[in-house]
């Protein structure tokens, strides 16, 4: 499981200090719903997920009920913290596998969000889906309830790679799921993972081609991160599997850029490509623009008014807290201005529009020497710099963290 960052203990009432709340004024508001269940745990996964074997199936049945209570609780917190009331701009169901829940559960949660906060027009409502767990009927229900988009965990088209990742889904179901989603009128996206042990550049080419052939609106491609504590990490440590080196990762990323752009996709964030500006993930853009969001469910992270907090991970502990009307937040961080600025550099550098150079300078970042080095090393686009923006080149995207370090140091 991912290590939570170290924060201070979150208060039982969940209230957000006023001095932090002020920073919500010009931000849009978003909801993330974490559904912590999976049929089986994948070898690489370190997300906060539980299989029914691990916790029994009972909590899955009451999950939606508990979540509705957190929505009520959140409305109280926001009001009592005097944060201006805002309608939701996006909703995202992630996991785990949200689609393991009956469609009615997801819809009940969505309805509750709408009843509590109201929805902005043109709202983007996405759910992640396992290709094995959705069919046209299920997706049709979601569409009817207002969902606009489905993001399918494809990961790879190569059985050998799926086996290494311990993905259990049937690769053929991916195209069925995408077709079903399209036929009911949902926008589609697929997630891919590259750089798995044993995966070759040709394997990756095959997966990219398969994803392109699905004719989705959006593709995310993530290099595999071997997280501590996962089965995959143990297999690598024991020598059963070999981790591909960073040069291979770089080759794979460049191949993705080449094939996806040839197929009409545009990269708009380090790991994300879309067919148009409209088909970007509006919810993820909110993260990168440091907007406000409430993360519902066990282990979910929230960011409202300059405060980040994270809920207890264990679904039973989560449920206990909610039922006792105690904030499910375990710990929190109050982000001071300097760190807020650093986060902004860290996040906005990753998106295609880049980050405003004037703002960077105002905040004491982006020394002339650093910018000139970044241009010399072809990590940022020189023409954009002259227009007043730091935007990454392809080479710079692969070295984005280094660019951020140079900008802030």
Partner 1 sequence: MSPRANSKLEPSKTNPDFIRNFCIIAHIDHGKSTLADRMLQLTGVVDARSMRAQYLDRMDIERERGITIKSQAVRMPWEFENQVYALNMIDTPGHVDFTYEVSRSLAACEGAVLLVDAAQGIEAQTLANLYLAMENDLTIIPVLNKIDLPAAQPEKYAEELANLIGGNPEDCLRVSGKTGVGVDELLNKIIQTVPHPVGDPNAPARAMIFDSVYDSYRGVVTYVRMVDGSLSNREKITMMSTKAVHDLLEIGVSSPEPEQTKGLGVGEVGYLITGVKDVRQSKVGDTVTTALKSATQALKGYSEPKPMVYSGVYPIDGSDYPILREALDKLKLSDASLVYEPETSVALGFGFRCGFLGLLHLEIITERLEREFNLDLIATAPSVIYEVTLDDKKEVTVTNPSEYPTGKISKVLEPMVRATILSPKDYVGAIMELCQGRRGVMVDMQYFGTDRVQLRYDMPLAEIVFDFFDHLKSKTQGYASLDYEENGLAEGDLVKVDILLQGEQVDAFSAIVHKDKAYAYGVMMTTKLRELIPRQQFEVPIQAAIGARIIARESIRAMRKDVLAKCYGGDISRKRKLLEKQKEGKKRMKMVGRVEVPQEAFIAALTSDSEKKGKKKGD
Q: Which of 182, 234, 249, 363 binds partner 1 (CB under 8 A)?
A: 249
Query: What are the beta bridge partners of residue 341?
Result: none
Peptide bond connecting 309 to the previous residue in cis, omega within 30 degrees of 0:
no
Query: What are the beta bridge partners of residue 33?
Result: 93, 296
State which residue, 108 or 394, has the beta carbon closest to partner 1: 394
State which residue, 124 or 143, has the beta carbon closest to partner 1: 124
Calpha distance 131→173 (Å, rounded)? 5
Shortest spacing between CB 359 and partner 1, in angstroms? 18
Q: Are 209 and 259 in contact (CB under 8 A)?
A: yes
The 3-state secondary structure of 162-205, one letter per residue: HHHHCCCCCHHHHHHHHHHHHHHCCEEEEEEEECCCCCCHHHHH
Q: Which of 5, 17, 159, 388 binds partner 1 (CB under 8 A)?
A: 5
State which residue, 322 or 346, has the beta carbon closest to partner 1: 346
First to last CA, the chain: 31
User: Is residue 377 involved in binding partner 1 (CB under 8 A)?
Assistant: yes
Site for partner 1 in 8-67 (CB under 8 A): 32
User: Is residue 370 involved in binding partner 1 (CB under 8 A)?
Assistant: no
Q: Which of 44, 50, 253, 273 binds partner 1 (CB under 8 A)?
A: 253
User: Is residue 201 involved in binding partner 1 (CB under 8 A)?
Assistant: no
Site for partner 1 in 82-111 (CB under 8 A): none
Q: 264-275 as b/e, with b when 16 or more CB fall inside 10 Å? A: ebebbbbbbbbb
Site for partner 1 in 289-308 (CB under 8 A): 293, 295, 299-303, 308
Mark the segment that binds partner 1 (CB under 8 A) among 110-118, 177-185, 210-218, 286-294: 286-294
Token pair of 245 as six digits: 């080196």
Shortest spacing between CB 295 and partner 1, in angstroms? 6
Q: Are 154 and 209 in contact (CB under 8 A)?
A: no
Interface with partner 1 (CB under 8 A), residue total 49
State which residue, 343 or 356, has the beta carbon closest to partner 1: 343
Block residue for tokens 């794979």: 252
Calpha distance 214→202 (Å, rounded)? 19
User: Is residue 246 involved in binding partner 1 (CB under 8 A)?
Assistant: yes
Nearest C-alpha neighbor of 37 from the set 6, 8, 58:
58
Shortest spacing between CB 165 and partner 1, in angstroms? 15
Burial of 167 (0-12, 13-18, 19+ CB in 10 A): buried
Measured at the alpha carbon of residue 212, what is the angle toward residues 272 and 207, in degrees to the nearest 5? 85
Mark the segment that binds partner 1 (CB under 8 A) among 2-10, 64-72, 99-107, 166-174: 2-10
Token pair of 322 as six digits: 């909610």
User: Is residue 223 involved in binding partner 1 (CB under 8 A)?
Assistant: yes
User: Is residue 225 involved in binding partner 1 (CB under 8 A)?
Assistant: yes
Query: What are the beta bridge partners of residue 127?
Result: 93, 150
Token pair of 194 as six digits: 């590259």
User: Is residue 342 involved in binding partner 1 (CB under 8 A)?
Assistant: yes
Shortest spacing between CB 235 and partner 1, in angstroms? 20
Binding site for partner 1 (CB under 8 A): 2-7, 32, 222-223, 225, 246-247, 249-250, 253, 270-271, 284, 287-288, 293, 295, 299-303, 308, 310, 333, 339, 342-343, 346-347, 350, 373, 377, 379, 397-402, 404-405, 408-409
């Amino acid at each position: 499981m991912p290590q939570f960052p170290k924060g201070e203990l979150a208060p039982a009432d969940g209230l957000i200090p006023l001095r932090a709340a002020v920073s919500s004024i010009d931000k849009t508001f978003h909801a993330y719903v974490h559904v912590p269940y999976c049929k089986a745990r994948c070898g690489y996964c370190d997300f906060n997920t539980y299989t029914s074997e691990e916790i029994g199936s009972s909590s899955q049945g009451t999950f939606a009920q508990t979540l509705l209570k957190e929505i009520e609780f959140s409305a109280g917190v926001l009001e009592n913290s005097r944060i201006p009331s805002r309608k939701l701009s996006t909703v995202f169901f992630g996991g785990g596998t949200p689609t393991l829940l009956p469609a009615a559960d997801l819809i009940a949660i969505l309805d509750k969000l709408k009843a509590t906060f109201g929805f902005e027009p043109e709202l983007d409502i996405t759910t992640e889906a396992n290709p094995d767990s959705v069919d046209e009927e299920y997706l049709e229900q979601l569409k009817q309830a207002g969902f606009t988009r489905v993001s399918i965990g494809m990961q790879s088209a190569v059985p050998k790679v799926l086996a290494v990742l311990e993905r259990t889904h049937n690769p053929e179901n991916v195209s069925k799921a995408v077709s079903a989603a399209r036929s009911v009128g949902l926008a589609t996206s697929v997630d891919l993972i590259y750089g798995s042990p044993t995966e070759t550049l040709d394997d990756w080419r095959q997966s990219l081609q398969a994803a392109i052939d699905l004719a989705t609106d959006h593709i995310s491609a993530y290099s595999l991160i071997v997280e501590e504590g996962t089965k995959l990490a143990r297999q690598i440590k024991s020598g059963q599997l070999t981790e591909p080196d960073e040069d291979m990762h770089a080759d794979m990323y460049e191949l993705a850029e080449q094939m996806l752009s040839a197929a009409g996709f545009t990269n708009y964030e380090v790991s994300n490509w879309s067919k148009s500006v409209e088909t970007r993930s509006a919810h993820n853009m909110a993260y990168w623009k440091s907007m406000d969001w409430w993360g519902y469910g066990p282990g979910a992270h929230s960011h409202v008014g300059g405060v980040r907090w994270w809920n207890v991970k264990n679904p039973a502990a989560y449920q206990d807290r909610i039922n006792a009307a105690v904030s499910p937040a375990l710990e929190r961080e109050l982000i001071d201005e300097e760190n807020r600025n650093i986060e902004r550099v860290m996040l906005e550098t990753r998106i295609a529009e880049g980050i405003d150079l004037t703002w960077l300078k105002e905040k004491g970042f982006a020394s002339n020497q650093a910018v000139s080095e970044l241009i010399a090393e072809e990590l940022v686009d020189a023409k954009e710099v002259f227009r007043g923006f730091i935007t990454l080149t392809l080479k710079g995207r692969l070295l984005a963290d280094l660019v951020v370090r140079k900008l802030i140091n």
